[in-house]
Amino acid sequence: MKIKIGDTVRFLDSVGGGVVKAFCSGNVVMVETEDGFDVPVYENEVVVITPGSTLVPKAELKLPVKEEVRVEHKPKPVHPRPTSKAGEKLNIVLAYLPDEINELGKCGYEAYIVNESNYDLYLIYSTEDRDTGERKMLFSGNIPYDSVEYIESFAVEDLSDRRRIACQIIPYKSDTKYGAKPCIDAVVKLEPQRFFKRHAFAPNPYFDEGAITFVLMNDDKEAPRFEIRSEDIQSKMDEKIRQDQKIKAKAKPVIDPNAPLVVDLHHHELLDTTVGMEPKDILEYQKRTVIETMEANLKFPGKKIIFIHGKGDGVLRKEVEKIMKSRYDFCSMQDASFQEYGFGATQITIRKEQRKQR
């Protein structure tokens, strides 16, 4: 009996069965089980269940037949599998599109996988908890070669649950021999606020509409993780300090040796970019800058240092005071000149070091 989409089938080589959801290349059908999982199997490994069949219990005959949902996007490839060398390299992109670009913040969103390669992909698309690493699968299934595949739709309220998206991918070819490639486990960090900004949905070669895109694989090379972890922040902070020290070493000497050293602690003066950094990470970098500056100038008694922290909500000012009282209590501290620096600056005068025994 010829298998059709919507048929209820039973697995011949294992327990269970489900409903035929789609046809894939290489005589493979996609079967949705009772648990909602998509399982790829060969057509000759399933049998269609008919009423009165003795192959399965009657209970299994009641599996619901879902209507096929067609999504408007580039169709699955109907052309023969390409054989070009360029296509042998994996190029995979995860993309997000709004349902209505003029209703950002109110409309829903759709996720797609772009597969620009000669390989089929088996994808498991999940959310990941940053603290525990636990994942919740949202989609699993085949992504045909040279295709754009719909993955999921979600409401704007669900963005907070998708701050980290994990994509586990197995490249393969169902109908021919192929060179084995490593499995991919890419984690993408989504920034919910981007989904509310029209310019974030940029023009791209895959869709007529603008999209937020993340490159998972580029010419067989896994793209960097889309987040800055604590160890990455530490490395960037160390590198920034080394660069600052090199610049200071090359700088011309100050004409007035008694002029105060002015250090602007605003993050846009200290960092080239804050992408991927949380407020606590930025504050940690600012505190470290204060300590590094103090340590470098303790050998100059009488030296004045002006830390510009801004008025703001006073968080950075309090941190500067806390550092001075806990580490450099032998130095004097006062508000800097209002005429020169306004309310948002603190002046430190280096005194002969007399650290307390700790």
The pLDDT of residue 64: 53
Beta strands in 130-198 (DSSP E): 135-143, 147-154, 164-172, 184-189
Task: Name the band, by pLDDT with cuts 50, 70 and 90, for residue 261.
Answer: very high
Average pLDDT over residues 5-9: 85
Nearest to 32 by CA among 55, 64, 79, 56: 64
Confidence band for 35, pLDDT divided at 50, 70 and 90: confident
Residue 5, pLDDT score: 84
Q: Write down the mean pLDDT value for the chain.
A: 81
CA distance 203 to 194: 15
**3-class DSSP assignment, residue 319:** helix
pLDDT at residue 268 in the model: 82
| Residue 53 Cα to chain centre, angstroms | 49
pLDDT at 247: 59
- pLDDT for position 279: 82
Most confident of 12-16, 218-222, 318-322: 318-322
Which pLDDT score is estimated for 28?
A: 81
**What does the pLDDT read at residue 197?**
87
Mind listing the pLDDT tens digit for each residue in 288-337? 999 999 998 888 899 999 999 887 667 888 999 999 999 999 999 998 88
The neighbouring-strand residues paired with 111 are 96, 152
Please give the share of the chain, as a percent, with pLDDT higher than 70: 78
